[in-house]
Structure 1
Amino acid sequence: MSRFESSVSPQKSKKGTVAIEAKSGYLRLRWRYLGKQYNIYTGLPDEPLLRSVAETKAKTIALDILSGNFDETLAKYKPKKQEPKPQELATFEIYQSFLEFKRSQVVASTIKKYESLLEDLKRGLTPENIVQILSVTNNAETVKRKLEWLDQAYRWHGIPNPFINTKQRLKIPPKLKPRPFSADEVQLIFEGFKEKYPHYLPYVQFCVSTGVRLQEVNNLKWSQISDDMTRIQILDHKRSKTRSFRLPDLAIAALQSVDRSHEYIFTSAEGHQINHGNFRKRYWKDVLDSKKIDYRRPYLCRSTAISHALSKGANPMMVAAVTGHDVQTLYNEYAGFIESSPKMPDLF
Structure 2
Amino acid sequence: MGLRVGRHSATTSRCPGTLVPVPGALQEGSLRFGEEIPPWFSADDVQKMRLLAGAEVVSKARVPAHGQVLRVGFRAPMGAAAADGDCAAGLCGLAKRPGDLYEVLAFHLDRVLALNRSLPAVARRLGGHLLPYRYTDGAPRPVVWWAPDVRHLHDADNDQNSFALGWLQYQALLRQRCGAGGGAAPGRAPCVGVAHAEWSRLALFDFLLQVHDRLDRYCCGFEPEPGEPCVQEMLHAKCRNPAELALVHILVRRSAPSRLVFIDNAGRPQHPEAKLNFRLLQGIDSFPESAVAVLRSGCLQKMLLRSLYVDRELWDSQGGSEGLRPLLQTLERRAQIFLRYLREHNLGLFRETAAP
TM-score bin (small chain):
under 0.3
TM-score in terms of structure 2 length: 0.26
Q: Which has the larger radius of gyration?
A: 1
Richer in helix (by share): 1
TM-score in terms of structure 1 length: 0.26
